[in-house]
Amino acid sequence: MKKEESRHFKLFASRSHAGENRKDLLLFDYIKKSGKAFDEELIREELYGPENKNAFYRLKHRLLEELNKSLWLQHFNQDEQTFCLYLFSLAKLHFEEERFEVSLHFLKRAEREAVSSENFEILDLIYGQFIRLSYAHPSVNPEKYIQLRKQNREKLEALNSIDDLVAAITYRIKVSSNHNLKDHRVLDLLQKTVDDYANNDKLIKSPKVRIKIFDAVSKLLLQRYQLEGLATYLQETYAAFQQDGIFTKQTHNVKLQMLVYLVNTHYLLERYQDSLRWTSKLKEAMDEYGRLHHDAYLFFYFNGLIENYSVLDDKKALDLLIQLRDDPALKKSSFNRTFIFINAAAVYYNRGELKKALRSLIELFLFDEYQNADQGLKLRVEIFELIIRFQMAENEVLSQRLGQVRKDYGNLLETEPHWRDLAFWELLESLNNWQYQPKKRPQITEMLQAFLENAQALPPEVKPIFDYDIFVQNQLEKLSPNGFA
C-alpha cells in the first residue's frame, strides 16, 4: 500500500474507537514492516499466545475487510468506471430501502457518467435497474429503457465479440515461441468480425468501438506480418483519432500503445529514422497529463532508441544500455533486465568485443529471472553464446556447451518451431569438429549452403533473436578459395 493509503486506513480504522494496543492495527503494522519476512506464527503467538489460532484468523479476516472498505472509500471516484459503480450501488441501496425518489436521482447520475465514458457493461445494469424501478415509480417509462438497453446491448455485443477474438489471438501470440500461427481460423473469424462491425454506421461512431477495432486490426495485420499495411493503418488511425478527439486523458493509454506500434513497425520495416521520429513522439506523449502512464512505457521508449541506434550508431546504443543497467525504474521488471543484457551482448558482438559480449551473457545467466524465462528465449540466447565461443576459438568449452544445450533443450529442438535452431546447432557442431577433420570441408560447405537455401523458403516473421544467416554467410566466405582454410 502507498503511504497515503496506509494513513487513510489508520484514520478509517479509528473511526469508532482508538487505542495503542488494538490488535488489528498491530497486525497491520507488523505486516507492513516485515514485508517478505512476514512470520505468521511469530505475530500470532505475540498477539494471542500459542493456543488461540481461531481468534487470530478472525482478526486477519476482519483486517482484510476493513482494508478493502478503506481503499474503496479512498478511491471510489478515482476513475469513471469506479465512480459509475459507486453511483449505481447507491441507487440500488436506496431502491432496496424503498427510497425510490432518491434511487432515481442516483440512477440518472450513474447513467450520465456511463454514457459519457461509454461504459456499456454498467449501462446494461443501469437500464435494468430503471426497468425494475418503473414498477414503483410512475414517472419511469419502462419502454424507453427497454429500447435503450436493446441499443446498448448491440454495442456491448460488438465489443465482446472483438474482445473475445483479440484475447484468443493475443494468447496464441504469447504461447507461440516463433510468433507464427499456422491455424488461421481465429484470424479469419477476427477479420470477419471487424469487417461486420466496421460497416455498421451506428457502431463505428462510438470511440470505444473504434478503439476496439483498432486493437483488433493491428493484431490481425501484425500476426499476418503485413507490415506495410500495418504502418499505413496505424498512421491513418493515429491522425483520425487526433482529429476526432478520441485521445483524451481516459484513452491516453491507447495513444501510447499506438505510438509503440508505430515505433516497432517502422523499425521492422528498416525505416530507422522514421522509427526514431515516432520514438520522440512517444516520449512527448509520456510527459502529458502529469506523466500519466510514464513509467509503464519507459521500457518501450528506451527499447525504441536502443534498437534503432544499434543499427545507426552502436556506440550510442551501448552507452544507453550501460546507463539503463542501474536504472531503478527499469530494474523493477525482470523482463527489462533480461532485455538490457541480451542487447548489450549483441551490440558488443557486432562491435567485435567478444569477451564483453560473453561477459554480458554469463552475467545474465546468473539472474533468477533468467532461469524462469521462456524456454524458447533461453535456447536462442544460449545458441548465441555458442556463436561467441566459436568466434573466440574456445573449441573445448564449445564442445561441452554444445552437449549441454542439446541435453537441456533436446525436446524443444525437436519441435517444428525450432527446427531451424536445431539445424544451426548441428552446423555449429560440425564447424567445431572441422578443425580436427580437414577432409570434411566440402561437406561443411554443402551444409552451410543448404542452410541458407532452406532459410529463403521461410516466412519473413520466423526469425531467431540473432541472425544465423549472416554468421553462416561469413563462414562460407572463409571457406571459399579466396578465404582461409
Looking at the domain assignment, is residue 309 inside a domain?
no
pLDDT in tens, 74-126: 887 777 888 999 999 999 999 999 999 999 999 999 999 999 888 889 999 99
Cα separation, 309 vs 320, in Å, equals: 9
Query: Contacts by 326-333 with C-beta closer than 8 Å and gap 24+?
Result: 329/295, 329/298, 330/298, 330/299, 330/302, 333/299
* Domain boundaries, position 53: 3-75
CA distances from 371 to 330, 332, 365, 409 (A): 19, 17, 7, 13
Q: Does residue 109 sit in the same domain as residue 51?
A: no
Q: Does residue 156 sit in the same domain as residue 205?
A: yes
Q: Give, rounded to a whole angstrom, the gap between the first and last alpha carbons of the chain.
A: 65
- Residue 285: the pLDDT is 97
Helix 80-96 and helix 120-133: axis angle, to 10°? 20
Q: Does residue 55 sit in the same domain as residue 113?
A: no
Cα separation, 331 vs 341, in Å, equals: 12
- Residue 292: the pLDDT is 93
- Residue 175: the pLDDT is 52
Give the end of a domain, one of 169, 198, 225: 225
Cα separation, 345 vs 351, in Å, equals: 10
Q: Around Cβ 388, how many Cβ atoms within 10 Å?
A: 21
Q: Does residue 88 sit in the same domain as residue 121?
A: yes
Looking at the domain assignment, is residue 260 inside a domain?
no
Give the end of a domain, one of 113, 140, 167: 140
**Could you identify the residue written with the cell 430503471?**
130
Q: Does residue 89 sit in the same domain as residue 179?
A: no
Looking at the domain assignment, is residue 161 inside a domain?
yes
Q: Are residues 177 and 459 in contact, defined by beta-carbon separation less than 8 angstroms?
A: no
Q: Are residues 315 and 293 in contact, defined by beta-carbon separation less than 8 angstroms?
A: no
DSSP letter assigned to residue 200: -
Strands annotated E in 237-383: none
Q: Does residue 469 sit in the same domain as residue 386?
A: yes
Looking at the domain assignment, is residue 181 inside a domain?
yes
Return the C-alpha cell found at 146. Answer: 427497454
Q: Residue 480: left if φ>0, alpha if ψ -120 to 50, beta else—which one? A: beta
Q: Does residue 381 sit in the same domain as residue 485?
A: yes
Q: Collapse the DSSP code of 332 into the 3-class scheme (helix H, G, I; strand E, B; otherwise coil) and give the result.
A: coil
Q: Tens digit of pLDDT per residue, the chain (485 long)?
A: 778 888 888 888 887 666 667 888 888 888 888 877 788 888 888 888 877 788 888 988 988 888 888 888 888 777 788 899 999 999 999 999 999 999 999 999 999 999 988 888 999 999 999 999 999 998 999 999 999 999 999 888 877 877 776 676 666 555 543 344 444 565 566 667 666 666 666 666 778 878 887 887 888 788 778 889 889 989 999 999 999 999 999 899 999 999 999 999 999 999 999 999 999 999 999 999 999 999 889 889 999 999 999 999 999 999 999 888 877 766 666 567 788 899 999 999 999 999 999 999 999 998 888 888 889 889 999 999 999 999 999 999 999 999 999 999 999 999 887 888 999 999 999 888 876 666 777 888 888 898 888 865 554 444 555 788 889 999 888 877 555 44
- Residue 368: the pLDDT is 82
**Could you identify the residue written with the cell 533486465?**
337
Instruction: Calculate Rg over the CA atoms of the chain.
Output: 30
Q: Does residue 84 sit in the same domain as residue 155?
A: no
Give a three-class secondary structure readout of 127-149.
HHHHHHHCCCCCCCCHHHHHHHH
Cα separation, 432 vs 6, in Å, equals: 61
φ/ψ of 178, rounded to 5, equals -110, 10
Looking at the domain assignment, is residue 12 inside a domain?
yes
Looking at the domain assignment, is residue 216 inside a domain?
yes
Q: Collapse the DSSP code of 250 into the 3-class scheme (helix H, G, I; strand E, B; otherwise coil) and give the result.
A: coil
Looking at the domain assignment, is residue 230 inside a domain?
no
Return the C-alpha cell found at 344. Answer: 548489450
Which amino acid, one-letter code, is at 27? L
Q: Does residue 395 sit in the same domain as residue 477?
A: yes
Q: Does residue 136 sit in the same domain as residue 156?
A: no
Q: Does residue 158 sit in the same domain as residue 182?
A: yes
Return the C-alpha cell found at 337. Answer: 533486465
Return the C-alpha cell found at 345. Answer: 551482448
Give the end of a domain, one of 225, 255, 286: 225
- Domains in the chain: how many in total? 4
Return the C-alpha cell found at 467. Answer: 541472425
Q: Are residues 331 and 340 in contact, defined by beta-carbon separation less than 8 angstroms?
A: no
Cα separation, 321 vs 332, in Å, equals: 16
Q: Does residue 68 sit in the same domain as residue 157?
A: no
Q: Are residues 402 and 425 in contact, defined by beta-carbon separation less than 8 angstroms?
A: yes
Q: Around Cβ 120, how many Cβ atoms within 10 Å?
A: 21
Looking at the domain assignment, is residue 298 inside a domain?
no
Residues 6+ apart with CB under 8 A from 467: none
Q: Around Cβ 249, how many Cβ atoms within 10 Å?
A: 10
